[in-house]
Structure 1
Amino acid sequence: MTVSEWVEAWWAGRQANKPSTSARYRGLLDQHVLPRWGRLPITAISRGEVQQWATRLAAGKSPSTARQALGLLRGALDAAVNDGVLQRNPAVGVRLPRMPRSEPSPLTHGELWKLADAMPTDRDRVLTLVMGYGGLRWGEVTALRVRDVQQRGAELRLREAVAEVGGHLHVGTLKDHETRTVVLPATVATELASWIKAKDSNALVFPSATRTYLRNGSWRRNVLNPVLEATGLPQITPHNLRDTAATLAINAGASVMAVAQLLGHETPSTTLRHYAGTFPTDLGDIAKKLDRAARTAKNKSRRREGAKDAPTRDRP
């Protein structure tokens, strides 16, 4: 059996992912895994060859691409081991360079409001503020319906997300498959409540001109990029508005857990991986406290040593 034959059988039997995830994984298989391994017998793969392939892929593409492609190969070969086709998985134990931490590119409060004020329509203005303070993903904010806006705009109940795959839109659950609630500042909530006033409860909050789901590429090209150029603001993407929401929340004193809940991260470790440099460390204050304690202990130690070394007077 060739690797290609086994991988195709394994792929057909896998639990279904979200359409966007399935498309990304299928692309990795077709572009990187099968061209290298597909024609080989599944028993002819060595760990050294897998290591060389993954290392070259990380250098030529990116550590992220190599990690995902290696993960797919490892998963397929794990299944082969479980089915008795292989005695061991040659992709286990392969090491890759550490992935560089992506640095967020947030806007300040002032820059966010400057961007919102320059937007050509009320829809775009409110959309910018909701993303900039609510931290919603693009697929979440564009799937938002009027019925999901509660407490006069102060709370958003996120239930669905839209994903664009190969030019087609797919509506499904959120990234972690769980609904969540996002709380907005009162200033933004007031603008959102005014925007959706008199709209049908089933209507999209931020529809396109044709009353369908707003597409990321179209909005960036026709709205965001021209406004950024006209205002001289940093060149950002809609995802950077999510960075903005996280950073502004952290600067306001939000904990790691609170920011993870705001962004819909599955674990706080994901939040730390992306925003560790944004959280205050208080290392300076800690060093000062340690220094005070160290000085006190040092002085006490010297006094004790001095008392031991002092000469004793003869008693009469």
Structure 2
Amino acid sequence: NDIVNKNPCDDIRLRSNVKKHEKHTYTAEECDYVLRYAETHPYGLEIILMLSYGITRSELLGIKWEDIDSSALTLHVQRGVAEVKNAATGKVEIVAGNLKNDFRERIIPITESDIEKLSIRPHKCEYVFGNNSGKPQSPSNWQKRRYNVFMRDMQEFYAEQGIDIPKLTPHELRHTRATLWVNSGANLFAVANVLGHADLQMLRKRYAHSDVESTRKLLGLDKK
């Protein structure tokens, strides 16, 4: 028998047909429109926290009242909510547990105005955005029943005024906040701390979009 000394697959390179989903972001002006409308909407507080501080859907639904320090004006992000399939039963369960990694646990400084918004929210259970049973909400149900409703209402509201504001996904709100901070020249260490990133290089690569006018402003390069 001939001896094969080389793996015949070594020189083969697989090409993926899966296209990466292009993330969209709001401009600073669009972001202001969304936050302004969120002040008036029943589900607006969730949007305000996500879009203002880059909190993920999972992290938002995991917030407990004990995580909010009204005197220090901070929010402690230390758990996330996920839908996990029970291997034994085959059923999907809602689990509140640890975050992706140690860096994702963080204390976020938030505004006094947002603390006040949180303080007047009814304390129905230990979770700030829990369900009527006192447990964390299902991320998919929350998105369908609250998040998507907000996006639809917001878009229709501005459409009546001739203003086109796109609907973004929850993760694109986080992407928007990070991008706006990075492109405005915010301190990258501060941005990384608030977002829960350990790698500044990855932060810059993922969120720093090419923005010529922002770069011009940061470098003090006048058009004249």
Structure 2 counterpart SS, 1:221: helix
Q: State how far apart, in whole Å, the 2-side matches of 1:159 and 1:231 are.
A: 30
Structure 2 counterpart SS, 1:266: coil
Q: Are 1:132 and 2:54 matched, yes or no?
A: no
- Structure with bigger helix share is 1
Query: Are the structure 2 counterparts of residues 145 and 156 from structure 1 closer, same or farther at C-alpha, using a change threshold of 3 Å?
Result: same
Q: Equivalent residue for 2:121?
A: 195
Asked whether the equivalents of residues 176 and 266 of structure 1 are also in contact (C-alpha less than 8 Å), the reply is no
Q: Equivalent residue for 2:10?
A: 47
What is the alpha-carbon root mean square deviation over aligned residues? 3.1
Structure 2 counterpart SS, 1:209: coil
Q: Are 1:149 and 2:68 matched, yes or no?
A: yes
Question: Which of 167, 172, 194 matches 1:262?
Answer: 194
Q: Equivalent residue for 2:140?
A: 217
Asked whether the equivalents of residues 183 and 215 of structure 2 are also in contact (C-alpha less than 8 Å), the reply is no
Q: State how far apart, in whole Å, the 2-side matches of 1:186 and 1:145 are.
A: 18
Cα displacement string for residues 241-281 of structure 1 (whole angstroms, at most 9, x for unaligned residues): 21343245446652222211111112112221222116732
Q: State how far apart, in whole Å, the 1-side matches of 2:77 and 2:137 are.
A: 17
Matched to 1:255, the amino acid is N
Structure 1 segment 1-316 matched on structure 2, within 5 A: 46-49=9-12, 51=13, 54-55=14-15, 58=16, 60-62=17-19, 102-106=22-26, 107-119=30-42, 124-152=43-71, 154-166=73-85, 167-178=92-103, 179-195=105-121, 199=123, 203-232=126-155, 233-250=165-182, 253-277=185-209, 280-282=214-216, 285=219
Q: State how far apart, in whole Å, the 2-side matches of 1:285 and 1:158 are.
A: 34
Q: State how far apart, in whole Å, the 1-side matches of 2:210 and 2:121 are.
A: 32
Structure 2 counterpart SS, 1:182: strand
Structure 1 counterpart SS, 2:215: coil
TM-score, reference length from structure 1? 0.54
Q: State how far apart, in whole Å, the 1-side matches of 2:147 and 2:80 are.
A: 21
Q: Which structure has more RCO (C-alpha within 8 Å, separation ≥ 6)?
A: 2
Matched to 1:61, the amino acid is V
Query: Are the structure 2 counterparts of residues 220 and 116 from structure 1 closer, same or farther at C-alpha, using a change threshold of 3 Å?
Result: farther
Q: State how far apart, in whole Å, the 2-side matches of 1:263 and 1:136 are.
A: 7
Asked whether the equivalents of residues 38 and 45 of structure 2 are also in contact (C-alpha less than 8 Å), the reply is no
Q: Equivalent residue for 1:6?
A: none
State the identity as a percent: 21
Asked whether the equivalents of residues 260 and 268 of structure 1 are also in contact (C-alpha less than 8 Å), the reply is yes
Q: How far apart are 1:156 and its partner, in Å?
A: 0.8
Cα displacement string for residues 6-32 of structure 1 (whole angstroms, at most 9, x for unaligned residues): xxxxxxxxxxxxxxxxxxxxxxxxxxx
Structure 2 counterpart SS, 1:108: helix
Query: Are the structure 2 counterparts of residues 270 and 165 from structure 1 closer, same or farther at C-alpha, using a change threshold of 3 Å?
Result: farther
Q: How far apart are 1:224 and its partner, in Å?
A: 2.3
Query: Are the structure 2 counterparts of residues 287 and 61 from structure 1 closer, same or farther at C-alpha, using a change threshold of 3 Å?
Result: same
Q: Equivalent residue for 2:161?
A: none
5+ residue gaps, structure 2, are: 1-5, 86-91, 156-164
Cα displacement string for residues 209-234 of structure 1 (whole angstroms, at most 9, x for unaligned residues): 32211222212222222332233242
Q: State how far apart, in whole Å, the 2-side matches of 1:243 and 1:126 are.
A: 18
Matched to 2:192, the amino acid is A
Asked whether the equivalents of residues 81 and 97 of structure 2 are also in contact (C-alpha less than 8 Å), the reply is yes
Structure 2 counterpart SS, 1:195: coil
Query: Are the structure 2 counterparts of residues 45 and 262 from structure 1 closer, same or farther at C-alpha, using a change threshold of 3 Å?
Result: farther
Cα displacement string for residues 46-82 of structure 1 (whole angstroms, at most 9, x for unaligned residues): 2123x1xx21xx1x223x6xxxxxxxxxxxxxxxxxx
Matched to 1:105, the amino acid is T
Structure 1 counterpart SS, 2:168: coil
- The structure having more radius of gyration, on CA atoms, is 1
Q: State how far apart, in whole Å, the 2-side matches of 1:273 and 1:177 are.
A: 21
Q: State how far apart, in whole Å, the 2-side matches of 1:217 and 1:253 are.
A: 34
Q: State how far apart, in whole Å, the 1-side matches of 2:25 and 2:35 are.
A: 12
